[in-house]
Amino acid sequence: MELYHVLNRGVEKRNIFLDDRDRFRFVHGLGLFNTSTPANNTTYLIEQDHNDIVSRYEGKRLVNLHGWCLMRNHYHLLLSERVENGISMFIRKLNIGYAKYFNKRYDRSGYLFQGRTKKIHVNSEAYFLHIINYVHFNPLDYLQKGRDWRSRAIQNPAHAHDWLMKYRWSSYSDYCGQKNFPSILTTDLFGETPARFKKHISDYSGTGHSELPVQLLLE
């Protein structure tokens, strides 16, 4: 499996997710556009009480989504391809679809995203261990002194975990065994075992080092 870290942000670093409706719409797109089947990508406004929001869509999937996180002005995805050029096709549909929705809703025009979407190959164990935490710990930036996680100096790991479990706009809670948006996610990086993911997070946020056999997971 070839894993990639894919990310983009708003043009001029502007916020691209202004409320939960926007975030639901983007998450909806993670399922809607991950298919070879054409989709109506313009004006879909998803209701906020939906949970497993994309299970009804059919068609050959372009990518596997192994992890994700939405912040106010950017997004992170961990992807592997199911078909040739699947990531490029998926991201193009995702970005165009969300930009059309956003521009229509907020009566604006022009580009929404800042340049080409970055696609970084996860080509080592060290980078895998870093990026799986980096993607999922991003929401800690919204906590007071939350940016300590960037230097692996989380003062209260239990509080950080509770915050991340309540932050709906990432795959953290799904990996921890609490269903959030399970139909868009492929949770095989840790053998679909919540305990292994929790141990890895605990090791990373404390003083230990993860002992997961990452070389096997990346094959």
Q: What is the predicted pLDDT for the residue at 219?
A: 30
What pLDDT band is residue 187 in, cutting at 50, 70 and 90?
Answer: confident
User: Do 146 and 109 sit in the same domain of this protein?
Assistant: no
- Residue 89 sits in the same domain as residue 59: yes
d(CA 22, CA 29): 11
Q: Which residue segment(s) compose the domain that 173 sits in? A: 124-217
Residues 56 and 137 in one domain: no
- Please report, for the domain that includes residue 45, its CATH number: 3.30.70.1290
Identify the DSSP state of 117. P
Top-confidence residue, 149 or 206: 149
96 and 145 co-located in one domain: no
C-beta separation of 12 from 114 below 8 A: yes
Q: 107 and 91 in one domain? A: yes
* Mean of per-residue pLDDT scores for the chain: 82
Rounded to two decimals, the pTM is: 0.84
Q: pLDDT, tens digit, for every residue of 145-178?
A: 656 666 666 777 788 889 899 999 999 999 888 9
Last residue of a domain, one of 105, 120, 135: 120
Distance CA 61, CA 79 (A): 12
CA distances, 94 to each of 40, 167, 193 (Å): 12, 22, 29
Which of 100, 120, 140 corresponds to the end of one domain? 120
Where residue 206 falls among pLDDT bands split at 50, 70, 90? low
The answer on 109 and 137 residing in a single domain is no
**Domain final position from 91, 120, 149:** 120
Q: Which residues contact 191 (CB under 8 A, 6 or more apart)?
A: 217
Indicate the number of domains in the chain. Answer: 2
Residues 12 and 54 in one domain: yes
Q: Quick check: 116 and 96 in contact, CB under 8 A?
A: no
Distance CA 144, CA 148 (A): 9
